[in-house]
Amino acid sequence: MDQTNLIILGAQWGDEGKGKIVDLFSERFDIVARYQGGHNAGHTVEVGDRRFILQLIPSGILRPGKTVVIGNGVVIDPGALLQEMETLEAAGIQVRGRLLVSHRAHVIFPFHRMMEKASETRPGQVRIGTTSRGIGPAYEDKIARRGIRIADLLDSETFCAQFEQIVREKQLIARALQIEEPLDFAEMRSRYLGYAERLRPLVADVALYVNRAMDQGRRVLFEGAQGTMLDIDHGTYPFVTSSNATAGGASTGVGVSPARIHAVVGVSKAYITRVGEGPFPTECDDQAGQTLRQRGQEFGAVTGRPRRCGWFDVPLLRYTSTINHFASLVVTKLDVLDHLSEIPVCTAYRHRGSLLDEMPALARDLEQIEPVCETLPGWNWPTAGLRDYSELPPAAQSYLQYLEDRTGVEIGCVSTGPQRDQTILRPGSKLAKLLG
């Protein structure tokens, strides 16, 4: 098989089950690279009777022998990263020697969380419903060219000078906004200098490493966090995260040319969920939505917040496929729909009486959209754990065929449960060929 480098990313608003899929497919790759976001992500992976929630470390870490890298596009809370490493190592997973962290990734500090809390709670501010991890303010500092990168943190002289400057600025803002939260900056500085020593052995020029590995024919899987509709440029702005969760983010967030990446695979639930504020055309806030939440265990892996649930949204998926050019789609949590005798699917949006062909940019328009739904027969039959497409009830196959026809994207894989083997990879699909 020729070298094929793939991106796997969320086709909806995150939480599509990418963790399991990356873990599963990483068997066929040498390196798994995370390219954006931070510890706002929560990738749940079940292996046997063990359940792992990975926030920063790519899901490939659960496959012995694979190298995992955290690219420059990720924002890193060193305390969270070290904690995650310790948890994995305590569970017998070897991390040291297999994880590399980009020296160009930006660092999250406690004052970022403080700023985020202030902007989420200040009267009159639009509340985004963030994960409160300081992600947005850390990216703000990066774009404003005053952020502190891992490379800076490792050079104590550079770090102390930059830290003093940024602290002065944060203190000014805190005073102006009357933020009362006491932060001990001297303690913070020495704590971060301590983190630097613990991180030093992992830090590398990840872009160089990945490019050289590709030169040698090693295969790379790029792991997206969050989802396309949370992308800072293409999502439901301003109700988005602060990074590029879309395919382009893989290139800038690791330092690999798009010309070296061969295909993009989207992951979508058989329905849809969203956490936090913002428009959600197919949201189901009645009993049917609650049942989906219960059956799908739709509670945030990081924050525990109940996820908002709704029906599969075809126009949304067509949009996210356009932005990412999906070669194939993985549909997860099909079994959550097993109880239904009828399944609504949104096929179009109506806005002020007319049908929309394109995804509106204004959040207000998206809030006002009415989903036009078609109702498909359910299968009322257990599909949990099925491993062969032909074992799926005919109505489940028709449902998937309908989604495929309407979205124009092949469904190459179906997940029927959280375990690795509760998966149907369709033989002969583009995805099966890409995986080799």
224 near ligand IMP (CB under 6 A): no
From the CB of residue 305, how many other CB atoms can be counted at a distance below 10 Å?
A: 14
14 near ligand IMP (CB under 6 A): yes
Residues 180-204, buried b or exposed e (16+ Cβ, 10 A)? eeebebeeebeebeebbeebeebbb
Q: Which of residues 159-178 bind ligand IMP (CB under 6 A)?
A: none
* Six-digit token string for 346: 């949104």
Of the candidate residues 8, 9, 33, 41, the single one contacting ligand IMP (CB under 6 A): 41
333 near ligand IMP (CB under 6 A): no
Q: Least CB distance from residue 299 to ligand IMP, whole Å?
A: 11
Residue closer to ligand IMP by CB (options 16, 335) is 16
55 near ligand IMP (CB under 6 A): no
Residue closer to ligand IMP by CB (options 241, 383) is 241
Of the candidate residues 59, 72, 130, 415, the single one contacting ligand IMP (CB under 6 A): 130
- CA 253 – CA 433 distance, rounded (Å): 26
Residues 64-90, buried b or exposed e (16+ Cβ, 10 A)? eebbbbbbbbbbbbbbbbeebbeebee
- CA 109 – CA 93 distance, rounded (Å): 27
Q: Least CB distance from residue 132 to ligand IMP, whole Å?
A: 7
Residue whose pair of structure tokens reads 């936090």 in the numeric block: 276
Residue closer to ligand IMP by CB (options 336, 392) is 336
Q: Least CB distance from residue 248 to ligand IMP, whole Å?
A: 18
Residue closer to ligand IMP by CB (options 5, 246) is 246
73 near ligand IMP (CB under 6 A): no
The secondary structure of residue 161, as a DSSP letter, is H
C-alpha count within 13 angstroms, C-beta hemisphere, residue 259: 1
Axis crossing angle, helix 185-199 with helix 156-176, rounded to the nearest 10: 140
Q: Contact at 8 Å (CB) between 34 and 8?
A: no
Q: Identify any residues that bridge with 331 across adjacent strands, giving them in sequence order.
A: 268, 414
Residue closer to ligand IMP by CB (options 18, 219) is 18
The amino acid present at 282, given as its one-letter code, is: T
Phi and psi based region of residue 417 (left: phi greater than 0; alpha: psi -120 to 50; beta: remaining): left
Strands 354-356, 370-377: pairing is unpaired
The residues that are catalytic are 15, 43
42 near ligand IMP (CB under 6 A): yes
- Shortest-Cβ-distance residue relative to ligand IMP: 276
Site map 225..254 versus ligand IMP, x via CB under 6 A: xx---x--------x-xx------------
Q: How many residues bind ligand IMP (CB under 6 A)?
A: 20
44 near ligand IMP (CB under 6 A): no
Of the candidate residues 58, 78, 276, 344, the single one contacting ligand IMP (CB under 6 A): 276
Residue closer to ligand IMP by CB (options 33, 196) is 33
Q: Least CB distance from residue 235 to ligand IMP, whole Å?
A: 9
Binding window for ligand IMP (CB under 6 A); candidates: 123-131, 345-353, 385-393, 401-409? 123-131
133 near ligand IMP (CB under 6 A): yes
**CA 235 to each of CA 72, 343, 413: distance values in angstroms, whole numbers, following the listed order:** 21, 26, 25
328 near ligand IMP (CB under 6 A): no
- CA 353 – CA 281 distance, rounded (Å): 15
Q: Using alpha carbons only, give the angle 393, 295, 335 rounded to the nearest 5 degrees.
A: 20
Residue closer to ligand IMP by CB (options 68, 135) is 135
Q: Least CB distance from residue 1 to ligand IMP, whole Å?
A: 31
Footprint of ligand IMP (CB under 6 A): 14-15, 40-42, 128-131, 133, 135-136, 225-226, 230, 239, 241-242, 275-276
